Each structure stands twice: as structure tokens, then as C-alpha cells.
Chains A and B, each alone.
Chain A
């Protein structure tokens, strides 16, 4: 056999050639089939039945079998097959239940040979015996399979599947007497052609209809099935029980499956709905198709390999009324488009990175992988290789860990827990949150909160400027309105600026860093470019406080590290990956190579005049408490975007919630949704379920609030009879017992139920906790040594 096939291969490679090409049919095709020598293809459908010859460059219509003025329904084909031994013989399955054979050798125009009308319903499939000339098998919607001897007028045997709808029948390639039939109810049956009374074997292959099956051309035991459940399964039939050995999950119901010639592990599939592509899978790599043909514009209804020993030509017919010849070398290889790298952050800043070895090995930092270059082409060239397959793709996984000590996401958790988002008057919320931020040594955030309070508080409640000293609470004392207004006006978009001004004001106290001179320079520049602003700053310092006083509180709180806070929260992760400097180094580095560190960009850009938008010119009127709050919306919006962009989406969302209607309309819904989603995601990663729920509840985006309404159903099984509990309530309606009984107190547990993963006994959380304090054994007496941690 082996020898023979090699001979034919050699032969075929001489005779078969061509390119990717297509032709328009007049009507949608339902099925196609090729003749043995691969030179002609027959296309059949409801309104088409034609034979095309495959020329080098194009399809040429050879014969129209659909003759007569009003072709009968016998021409309306659900399936067609060309005999693989006898080149003049074709069979079709008609939608009205007829099985028709056609003899191309007939001299008349009508080539119809025999007509069998034994099936009551649509015939879904016909199949010739691979070696026997006169044997034809059909499978119909009425649940019967019939075997015809073409020398006789009627069927020789009828096989009853005892169920609705046979979807496919296939003779085994190797076992002379065996055929497989697949059914609408998900079963596959194996029959012996000599025994029509009973199937040899039956097993359930899919949930829902099995639309197709195909025997492996070389391996006698393998049967591939495809179903409505979007799976392709390969079964090993040599054992006693059919064993599923491979399974490919596709994205749509599988209409046809065909093993690829000469490639043991390859098969082609197409779908009946939605998806128009043809996929070739390597069943050992079920996650990504090996090759894809994307030419069709509507669902592909028939696929066939052009020659049984040539893996490079695939023919396909489609509902879009085209017939294609696909060349394997022109196929799309999804692997090439697949991202070869994966990157993921751990919760605590760890980073995992996986990439194709070939990519990593070309990294200059690493020792070049020996032979890496040689392997390269295998992945990236489509050159058909005899060993054409996915293999040898290996990835390297690197994990970069952060220093645990520097796990500085603490602030996030604390902030999330301590912030108040609702339940108090606006001003109090702001004050509270400002205080929280202050305590966590995040002065700029704190300042922002205070400023928000001032901006959006009801003018009537706003303390008159003159009374600042008396009214403002100690915690927020220095930020009297005048000054903060100005800051907001100029630098709100870039918080680092704020920070810097503070740094400036701290100069007297902390002449530590050389960088400080830069800062003051910067500030001077600022004053030059934004003249009026500078003025405003000092003019409105007329509360007669000098800068030191303004920030006196902050000084108290953070004498040690006045300036590091900003990088800590906003850019920490990036630095963490590269190196792990202690804080002062960090700062130094920032100063030194600021162009490279994105964190500093904010600082750099804010020096340019662009930032100094004209608000300053009206910064004096701002001072008046009569300004409508909406006046600030653009600024606040910008500020929120800034925070969000810097990675502090927490701030953005918190402010969004606290401000509520005051700001909501100024920011488009998509952005808001995006922020909410990111924040909720973060919260959930930190297992801050309560906070995340609160946020969901408080959000005003419909897309977010509905998060709480999905997946609220919990399906449970009865602990006694293991059946699903269909009822509400605590009693299983099958075994009439209470389902979740506490093993300690024997009452029904309504609420928190804890159980042992080992023996599955459990009960009230508290009871179990107490029990296992005193005893190591399971309270149910099953003898299991439960552990409670």
C-alpha cells in the first residue's frame, strides 16, 4: 500500500498543477465532489448541477446535468458523490427524498440513470463504497439508511437508526464491511453492511446533531466527527469503547470535516452558520487553526481535497455561488498573526513574560540560541514542508519579581477602604478623602480633594475668603481658596507641577537635592511665560501667609520624603521592572535621565506655554464665590483624565462618584465606563469585593450598574442525591431531604456554608470553625481528617 501511494503521489505531482482560482456558479452550491483523477469537479445544489473541469488557470464548465424545461425536485440536491472507481458514475441525494444515480456515459442529454424513491424524507447523504463498484449507501431525515445495489431496482438492505435524521454516512476506508452513521440526536453508530438488523456499536459523540463524520484515510481506527456543538472530535475505534483522542473547539457549528491527504494529523472543517472560512487544523494543536482559507463570502457548504494523495489542493463550494480551488501555499496562517508574546502583571507588581524562544534568543542580552536562525524559517515561511506542522514552537517564560518590601500598592488598598464616596454632604466627603490622602502621604491628591470641595461647594456655604483662617479645619488649613484657585487654574492638568510648586515652597527647609535648583528655575520660567499667573500667585497670597505657612501641615506630615511621593504612585510599576532603587536613587535617576522616563514627561511638558491656558487671566474673578460650579468642569475633566492616564484610575473614579452630577455630563460615557471598568477590575484583583460593589452601585453608567445584575443565579446540586436543585428553597424535590445540612448542628444552613474539599462535609461556618478547633476529624464522622485554615 505504502509503495502504491507513493507511486500515485509521484504521478499526481506531475499531473496536478494550478493556482488559487474560482468561478461563479449560477446558484448556491450544497455539495461538491471530485472524480478520481482530480481533473473534474461536480457541483450540486438546489438549482445547480454541473460538472466543471479543472484547467491550469481556470474552471471550465463541461456539462450541465440539470436538463428539462422544468427540472424536477429530483435535481434539488442535498449531496453529491462521484464514484472513486468508476469515473462515469455519480450519485445525488435529493431534498424530496430521492436517491438518483447518473451515468455520464449515456449518449442522451439526460444522464439520469436510476431513481430510488424509497426514503420518505430528505436524503442528507449518499456514499459509494470505496472499492465496490455497485454499492451505494444513503442516509435520510426519516432515520433510515439504505444500501443499494446499482444492478437492482431497489435497495438491498435497510438500516434503521431508531432515531430521527441520519446526517452523514461514511464507508470505512479500510474495513470492507463497516460504515459509520451520524445522527441528529448526537449519536454515532457503526454498522456491518451484512447485518441490517442491529448496529455493531453506538456511542454519543456530541450534544446536539452530529453533522458530519470522516474516516481517516490511512489509520483504520480513526473517525472524525463534527457537530452543532462546535466541536470536532477524533475517535479511536480500535478499542472496545470508542475513545475520544482529540478534540478541537471551533467557533461555529461544524458542517463538514475532511481529513487532509498525506498528513496524518490534519483535517479541514467548514461551518454551517455565521463563519464562512475553511480551517485546516492540526488536531494536536487544537487552539489555533493551522491554516485558514478566507475567500468565501457566505457559508461554505462543501469541501473536498482535490486528489486523495495530494495535500495542497482544496476545492470548496459555497452558498455565495462560487467554486474555489485553494492552494495550500496561499492559505492564511493564523499562527503568524498570533501574538508571539504574552505579558501579565501580577497583583503585587510581578511581571510574567512569555515569548517564542526564537525571539528571545535574538535578544542581545542573551546568549544567542544555537541554530536559532535555522529554525526561524519554519515559523515564518509558508513553504510547504514535508513536515509541515506547528511543532517546535516553544516559548520561554520569564518572571520578574518585585521586591516584596517595596510592595507599595498598599496605598491603593488603604485608599480604597478609607475613602468615603457617598452618604455625607459633598464637602464632608471631600474633606474626609483629603484627610485620607494626607495620612497616606499623598499631598497632591489631598490637595486636589480640597480644591474640589472649594470649587464645587455651594457658594453660600463657601467660607468667605477673609474668614479662611477661622473656618478651615486644621487638617486642610493651608489651602485657602485664593491660592488653590490659582493652582487649579494653571496646573491642574499636570499634577507634578503642583508638586513642584510645593517643592519650591519648601526650599528653605529642604535644600537637599541638587535638583532643587532646577525646580526653582523651572518655576521662574513659568513665571516668565505665564506672567499673570505668577502675579496672581503672589497677589493672592494676600491672606498674608507665606509659602511655608501654606504648607505647614504637609511639612509636619512628611518631613522625610517630601518629593518622592509622586513617582511612587504614578510610575512605580515601570521602575519596578527595570530596577528596584531605593527612593533617593530613584529621584536622582529621574533627574538624571528624565528624557527616558515617561514619568518625567509630564514635568517637561508642563513647562511649555501650551499648558498655561488662559484661565489665568480670569483667575481673579474665579475668586468670587459666585462662579457657577460648571465653570470648572473642563478643568476637572482634564484633571481626571490626567490622573487616569497616570494610572491612578482610583482617583478619577472616586472624584467622579463624589462629584456625581456636577461633573458627569462633562465626560463622555465611554471614558467613564472605561475608568469604572479599570477601577473595578483593580479592586477585584485586590479582593476588595465590598468596595468594588459599592463602586458599581454608585456608578451612573448603565453598563456598570448592570454588572451587578448579571450572573446572579447560582446552581446547586442536592448533597444527598447529587441531582440539580431545580426548586427554590432548601428541600430537594427528588429525595425530599434538606439539601445543605450542617454536620454539627444538623440544621439547614441558610447563609455561609463551609465545607471540606476532601470529604465534602460541611456546615455553618462558625460551627465548623469551633468543631475543628477541638477535633481533627470530620464532624460527620466519616473519618476524614479535615483541616480548617
Chain B
């Protein structure tokens, strides 16, 4: 836990209190590093909505840094590592141009003064998507600025999601409500639960981000070194966390009962439990997104920066897309694929064939148990993450093809989000139901009426197929859906990607990302990512909520 630079950063607007505490925690951390840099308060003021205030803060910041540098004629690093990382992050990700430029300039000055200056190891937020695709100046700049002002930073998740501003705004709203607004769980607990959930998918990106949030919210540092240091009430969530992440269909009312019933030792109230469940499910699906878009570590995360000067032949690792390198033949093939897909979509909509019950069931089973090779073994996850996971070998398991012990299918008509899930969430955690509902609706209606190079396309069937395929992977079946169309519309490479992302997100690789939909825009692939993420979230929620409903019965 070397870097905790967000400490002073996320506090703004309402808070003598909070900034006071934050500055305290910052001081505490940096004592050993003899920090004389600008106070976190200055950094918080950078997020002020008042332009003058921001300018003043910027001046103060540069003054502070320059004083630090000036005082020290010997050239040793008297300026704290954290300040440097702040500057690095500002210089690379702040949507406000003047701040970005000033930060770069300060870093350069520092370097000239002989201070070892960190530099970002990666360029751009995603390893899969070229930075220039994402950092286009444009309409979505507003929402980036907005999120910088309100969150104090623009992280890679936000940057990538900003390709779909309509979704981003309701995503941020939900996340803010989950982590910051009124709710039954204390704030540092919320971050800790998020960390627990992210660790299940070895997502060190989220773990680092929320560790910072956790400490800032007043959490105890020792908890981060292992689950055994956290209160038993929190660690009793482990089983649920595990199931929710990998096999939510196994969650039964017993699991709920163990946590909620009066006899349980560290007893959870239903409201707390729902809050925790939504947090966990939200995080699990967000892990899918982080892996699925190949997000790079933040410049101030471990692995996101280095103090080593670049070697002469170093080129910043830039994401490359195989599509760009492969031969013309590939390109032609790719174009063909799009044409074929378009044709199939049209055909499907006209199709009037009738299938027997038997046939429909078979089709569902076939999709569900189709063997999609996903097991690309990666290196062991970092210790940072591993110490927060129990039973790391528990994973998503393919449904046996029509096997005896196949878990029962959940019928979407019998327990749906609209009819049942929403009411339950809204009852126990007011407003959250509304926010989630809104998010599901936005993602299911999101379309730009275009596909690869074609405009004016109705992509509804394709989106529906994606959504239902993911639910199918989680054992949820729609009576009124013909799973044959999944097979028709989703090419195998896409299925590999979707299944990997939804079920084994930590195994997503650049190769998998680049091999599907080769002619589609990156923003369209991100769109697919969003669908996977939300469908997965809903599936996990439905199973848990059903178990809770059964418990309440």
C-alpha cells in the first residue's frame, strides 16, 4: 500500500470535516517522507466549481511546489512522492487543460532541479483501445469535467465509459449513491466490501482504488493486509461473495438465513445485507468491465508509474490492434462478417418458423453448455489481492451438458427485475432500486443505430441476443426467447469474449478482445462490454434477491 494519493483528492464542497480528516491522514502517511509539498486542501480546491478558486488553487499548488524545490538546493528529493504522483496524474488525466499543462510544467521544472520524477508506464486508459480513440476532444468533455469536479479525479473507468455519456452519468450516480450517500453501512465498510469483491476477480485496479477510498473513509490499514483482520461480520460475507462472483445460482435462502437470522453471531440486517449484495454484485460486474476493456493501472497505482528514467530505445507501450497489422485478406473477411451479420439480423426479424418446446429447450441447453475455451492461465494474482481472497480456486463452472446434476434453470418470467427485484430492493434500500432500474433501462435502450460502417441499423436483436446469452450462461431462461438466434448472431469469437468476460474476467486477454468484431469501432466493443456488465449484474442480483424473498416468506 505504498501510494495513497487520492486521500486529499476526493473531498470537496461540503467539508471542513472531511478535508480536515483527509489532511490528517495524509500527514500521517507522509511524515516519514518529510513532506513539504502542497497541502491536500489545495488539491481539493482544484476541483472547485468556481473558476477563480481553481486558478487560485493552481497558483498555490505551483507556488508550493516551487518553494519546495527552491528551498532545496542540494537537489535531493524533498518533494514528496505523493505530490509528484498527484502531479503526474493531473498531467495525464485532468480534463481541464490549464491544470494539465501546469502540472506537466511543474514536473519538468522538478526534473530540471534534479528531482527524480515519476513517469507513467502506460499511455492511455486502456491497453486494448488506442488512447487517441478515447481522448478525443468532444462532446463528452463536459461529462469528464463534471466527474473531475465532483469526484476529484477522472479514472480510467470513467474515461472509457465516457464513450457512452448517457450510460456514464447514471453509472456514476449509482456508484456515488452506493459508496457515498446515506445507507445502512458505514463508508469504510462499503469500500472494504468492494475490495473483497474485486479481489475475487483479481482486479488489482479496483482493489487499489478502493483501498485508497477505504483509508480515506477512516478504515484501519491492517484490514487491508488480510480478511482475518476485519470484523467477523464482514468476513462472514465471504461465502456469499464467493457464490455471487462465480456461481450465483447456488445462493439459497439458507445462505441468507445464516447472515440474517437472530441467532447469527454478527447479525446482518436485511437492509445492510441488500446494500452489501448490491455493492458486491456491482463490483463483480465492474471487474468484468475493467478486464474486458483492458484498463491500465492509474498513473498513481502500483505498476502505473516508474521513477526509472526511460531507456533510450523505450517507446511507451501502445496498444496495437491486430486488425491494423494483418493483411488485406483479413480486412475483407472482416467486412464480409459484418455483411453476414446484418443479413442474419434482418432474416431473424422476418422469421416466422415455429419450434417445438423440445427444440427450444435444447437450444437453451446448447447455448448454456456449449464449451467455449476460456481457460487461458494467467500469472498468479499479486499478493496484494490474494491475501483478500478465500478459496481462490472456486470459479465459475460450466453447466454439464444436460447432466443429471445440472442446477435448475431460473425462469425469467417467475422472478424478474421489473416485477420482483425492484420492489424488494426499493423496499429495503430506498432509491437504490430506482437507480439500478434506470441503469438497466439505459443500457438496454442504448443504441446509435449503427453497426461498424453501416448507419441506420436496428441493433435491438443483436443487443437482446447478447443480453440473453449472458443470462443463459448464468442459467436464466426466457420462455419467449428463441436461443437459436444467439447462435446465429453471435460469432464464436464474440462468444469467447463474452463468456470469458462474464465468467472468468481475469482471463480476458488482448487477443480475445481483438479477435471479435474486427470491423467494429472500439466504442461499439465498449458498448458490448457494458451490456455484458449490466446483464451479469442483473443475473447475480436476481438470484440473491430471490433467495432473500424466499427467506422473507
Contact = CB atoms under 8 A, between A and B. Distances in A.
Interface of A: 46, 70-74, 76, 78, 94-97, 117, 119-122, 141, 165, 184, 208-209, 211, 228, 252-253, 272-274, 276, 297-298, 706, 710-713, 727-731
B480 A120 contact: yes
Contacts of A73: 357, 360, 479
20 contacts: A72-B356, A72-B357, A73-B360, A95-B479, A120-B480, A228-B422, A228-B423, A253-B423, A274-B427, A297-B553, A706-B186, A713-B181, A713-B182, A727-B149, A728-B13, A728-B14, A728-B49, A729-B49, A729-B50, A730-B50
Nearest to B479: A95
B182 A141 contact: no
B419 interface: yes
A729 B480 contact: no
B400 to A, nearest CB: 21
B254 interface: no
Nearest to B187: A709
A209 B422 CA distance: 11
Interface in B337-385: 354, 356-358, 360
Contacts of B232: none
A252 B424 CA distance: 9
Given A73-B360, A96-B479, A252 B411 contact: no
Contacts of A165: 418
Contacts of B354: 117
B41 to A, nearest CB: 16
A272 B149 CA distance: 42
Contacts of A710: 182
Interface string B35-52: 000000000000011100
Interface residues on B, range: 20 to 34
Contact of A274 (B50, B358, B479, B549): B549
A276 B182 CA distance: 30
Given A713-B181, A728-B12, A728-B150, A184 B418 contact: yes
Contacts of B12: 728
B552 interface: yes
B492 interface: no
Contacts of B233: none
A95 B411 contact: yes
B420 interface: yes
Nearest to A299: B553
A273 B549 contact: yes
Interface of B: 12-14, 48-50, 149-150, 181-182, 186, 354, 356-358, 360, 411, 413-414, 418-420, 422-424, 427, 437, 479-480, 549, 552-553
A122 B413 contact: yes
B411 A272 contact: no
Contacts of A728: 12-14, 49, 150
A71 B423 CA distance: 32
Contacts of A122: 413, 479-480
B298 to A, nearest CB: 23
A456 B149 CA distance: 52
Given A70-B357, A729-B49, A76 B479 contact: yes
Nearest to B414: A46
A456 to B, nearest CB: 31
Contacts of B420: 272-273
Given A728-B12, A731-B50, 9 more contacts: A46-B413, A95-B479, A122-B413, A228-B419, A228-B423, A298-B553, A710-B182, A728-B13, A730-B49
Given A73-B357, A95-B411, A731 B480 contact: no
Nearest to A98: B480
Contacts of A72: 356-357
Contacts of B48: 729
Given A209-B418, A728-B14, A729-B13, A141 B480 contact: yes
A141 B14 CA distance: 45
A423 B549 CA distance: 49
Contacts of B552: 274
A706 B183 CA distance: 11
A275 to B, nearest CB: 10
